Amino acid sequence: MGYIDKNLAPVDDGALMDAYSQSIAHAVDIVGPAVSRIERVGGRSGHGSGFAISPDGLIVTNNHVVDDARLVRITTPDGLVTEGRVLGRDIDTDIALVRANTSIGNWARLGDSKRLRRGHIAIAIGNPLGFEWTVTAGIVSALGRSMRAANGYLMDDVIQTDAALNPGNSGGPLVSSGGEVIGVNTAVIQGAQSIAFAVAANTANFVVSEILRYGRVRRAFIGIAGDTIELPRRIALEAGTTQKTSVRVRRVEPGSPAERGGLADGDYILAIDGKPVSGVDDIVRLLDGEKIGHGTEFLVFTVAGKIETRTLLPLARA
């Protein structure tokens, strides 16, 4: 039988709040100086936010912030105003990469969004409704969400947060309490309260790498929609894998490489060409341009309860 220790010290709410405040202020001190106001030069007018990821002026923002502009005006928190060239854009993930004409100086680090958990602190920094360098804070409400991009493409591995976002926050960073960028703020549901979305940092990192290397994002296409879920330990042991999560196929498009290769709704994708798949962002990363037209092995746990290998022939995304 247990007992209650009547001498337990009461929780110091003031100390807890102070620690919470300090962690947010520390993260803002680290990332805030890297956040810029982004305005289109030429084309349709509009503005949003962005953040530098290197000292030489590489800036990540949203595709819908730069839209059809080739040049943008960049304003930093310390008053520097310069122009930048849009190096590339990816409408599928709503990510764009800008090169400033001058060195920005302050920059932020893209973290590993796969390490996120629901309930982690999420801090949004941006320029909403003309109020420059505004900070809002909340938590990571959900992971692995899907939402439609402007072209109708279903973006997977999207972070849901209750940190308040408004027009102008788009392209700004979603930041962890450790001062790492965990996402790129991209959308808010009009009329809803405390429901906003950010593209995961791992997806943004992949897009940036592709743009720097090829000037665009090359993707192999297999024709599925999926979500990240916990992988039962018995399946991991049977398959000889170590990951704790996997991707469950939610929909297979008719006539797609996935259908021709034998994938079905409800299958778990465990690995691609021997590399473990623990999240949707892994599929995005592993199905790069090198896979186009080449036989690619998918290790799956089928809806029939078997561990099997399927060979797919990915096509090039239009």
Give me the active site residues, please: 64, 94, 170
For residues 198 and 183, the answer to whether their CB atoms sit within 8 Å is: yes
For 47, 94, 173, 268, 296, the CA distances from 66, given in Å and listed in that order, are: 8, 10, 16, 37, 35
Measured from the Cβ of residue 151, the count of other Cβ atoms closer than 10 Å reads 9
For residues 280 and 297, the answer to whether their CB atoms sit within 8 Å is: no
Residue 215 tokens read as 């000037």
Residues 6+ apart with CB under 8 A from 231: 241, 243, 244, 245, 246, 268, 270, 278
Distance between CA atoms of 15 and 317, rounded to whole angstroms? 53
Task: Name residue 242's amino acid.
Answer: T
Task: Name residue 184's amino acid.
Answer: V
Asked whether the CA dihedral 126, 130, 135, 136 is positive or negative, the reply is: negative
Report the candidate in 189, 200, 182, 172 with the shortest Cα–Cα distance to residue 93.
200
Q: What is the DSSP letter of 173?
A: E
Give 234-263 as a DSSP string.
HHHHHHT---SEEEEEEEE-TTSHHHHHT-
Report the candidate in 71, 87, 78 with the shortest Cα–Cα distance to residue 35.
78
